[in-house]
Structure 1
Amino acid sequence: MSAFYIPDPDNPARFESTDLTIGPWSPNAQHGGPPSALLGHAIERCEPREGFQVGRVAVEILGPVPVASLEVRARVTRPGRSVELIEAELVSDRGPVMKANAWRFKTAEPPLDIDESLLPVGNRPGPEQARAHPFPSDLPVGFHTAIDYRFVSGSFDDPGPAVCWIRLRHPIVEGFEPSPLERTLAAADSGNGVSAVLDWSKYLFINTDLTVTLHRMPVGEWICLDAATYPQPHGIGLAESSLFDETGPIGRSTQALLLGRR
């Protein structure tokens, strides 16, 4: 397998899912990262405009995404001179399985004169200073075998907050170099996994959404999640991640969580 999705040569909106998309909860359902990135792939190609950049993507997970043929539809629903709203939908033979809204902004040209002291700063130890850690899955192939996890702090065996670098080993779509947005969306959906606080063998903690806000696009292959999960006894939780590349902060992501016993 060379990619998470294989494009249909006869239908540019249709993609065949490979086993690299398989998630940790079921061999028949995808991890949320690859289909979120596939939506990003479609959003960036929807009526592209020079000098515009996606600043926020909100993904709604409507149900399990099957490891099957999928169709992606995207359209501009709120056009504008400086900001526009794009809606995208991921559809299986059972109907819509994911939806996304994305705000696309016109970038300032020339750049604004902003005092550098106001810009977000700080970074985390880089991936070369982190340690690899295998994902806790018995499946021979899946999303966990298609990316690199490297932990600066925490691990899949240590409950609680974690700082983890993530890198794709394969393209999201065969024949296309992953874009910075695709890399970020694919990685950000792992926030609740890398910072899990509940026992994997006893509990489910499934995210119903993923919201990623970026003040700049990442540079390079690696995305860092400084992640924490906050569970509640009534079965609703939150995972949030500060996002970094190797040069500094790029944004933030959040996930609403459904908690339950296995």
Structure 2
Amino acid sequence: MDVPGELYLPTGDGFVATALTIGPWDAGFQHAGPPAALLLREAERASGIEAGQTVRLAYDIFAPVPVGPVRVRASVVRPGRRIELVEAVLDTGDERPLMRLSAWRMRVRDDAPGGEVVVPVAIPGPYDSRAEVAGFFTQDVAYHRALDWRFAHGSFNAPGPAAAWTRPACDLVQGEEITPLQHLLVMTDAASGISTELDWTTSTFANVDLCIALHRPPAGDWLGMDARTTLGGTGAAQCFADLYDVSGRIGRSTQSLFVEPR
């Protein structure tokens, strides 16, 4: 099995997605986790706050992202020395946006009032969790191979709430070591996938957004999420997840899901 070492290859004016970006619904479209991380990378590169922290990331998914060439661009919407808002957009070169990120970034302070409040990890750790490979991807080399998955409870392959740890099995962009925050974005869009309440073969439940709020940046190789999906019964659902590194909780995520029969 020939597995790429990265999710994206840089080109002159953008990137080309590798097979590790392939999502579960259609082999021609990317899982939203990799492009979310690519948008974060662009937003941080456009930032005017050196060594700042990204505290809120709100993604809108306008259309599926094809597996192939993509382009990203970013601009500072609200500049500032302490707080800024950065917007990043992904397209395939035709100016039609497929995904958009709105990211609030802040200056890091060593003298912040109150100090750090550590919220303990509420799930078994990565080395007390079991390895598992998703069984529903149509391609052997796809998104599920981009991360090393360890399940604390629940399963990729059965409905219900689930908690999983991951560590990167590849880089985001060729020639660059993936950062913990980029890893978090690659992982967190799968929260609704690991905690689905529906059968993959009979229903679709694609998310139209992804929102992440962080009270501190992630650190280390292993990151985790404890996710639960709630069906609304009217064609909509919501997924909520607590996000962790091995030291404690770092934030939470939400996803709005569009649910319909396959």
Structure 1 and Structure 2 fold alike (TM over 0.5): yes
* DSSP-derived class of the 1:108 partner: coil
Query: What is the deviation of 1:119?
Result: 4.3
Following superposition, the deviation at residue 147 of structure 1 comes to 1.4
Question: Which whole-Å CA distance do the structure 2 matches of 1:72 and 1:260 have between them?
Answer: 30
Q: Is the 8 A contact 1:2 1:174 kept in 2?
A: yes
1:2 to 5, 13, 32: 5
CA distance in 2, matches of 1:80, 1:20: 37
* Corresponding residue of 1:249: 249
More strand by share: 1
Q: Which amino acid aligns with 1:233?
A: G
The SS at the match of 1:160 is coil
How far has the Cα of 1:36 moved from its partner?
Answer: 0.3
Percent identity over the alignment is 41
Q: CA 1:109–1:246 in 2, change beyond 3 Å: closer, same or farther? A: closer
Structure 2 residue identity aligned to 1:22: I
Q: Is the 8 A contact 2:244 2:250 kept in 1?
A: yes
Q: SS of the counterpart of 2:26? A: coil
RMSD, matched Cα: 1.4
What TM-score, normalized by structure 2, do the two folds share? 0.94
Match of 2:132 in 1: 133
One-letter identity of the residue aligned with 2:129: A
Whole-Å separation in 1 of the counterparts to 2:261 and 2:254: 22
Q: Distance in 1 between matches of 2:227 and 2:56?
A: 19
CA contact (8 A) 2:164 2:224 kept: yes
Offset at 1:47? 3.3
- What CA deviation, in whole Å up to 9, does each residue of 1:112-152 have, x standing for no partner? 344x6x54334421111111111122312110122121111
1:240 aligned onto 2:240: yes
Q: Residues 49-198 of structure 1: matches in 2 within 5 Å?
A: 49-94=49-94, 95-114=96-115, 119-136=118-135, 137-198=137-198
Is the partner of 2:97 in helix, strand or coil? Answer: strand
Cα offsets for 1:143-174 (capped at 9, x unmatched): 01221211110002331111111222100111
The 3-state SS of whatever aligns with 1:88 is strand
How far apart are residue 51 of structure 1 and its match?
A: 4.7
Q: TM-score, normalised by structure 1?
A: 0.94
Using the alignment, how far apart are the partners of 1:86 and 1:148 within structure 2? 31
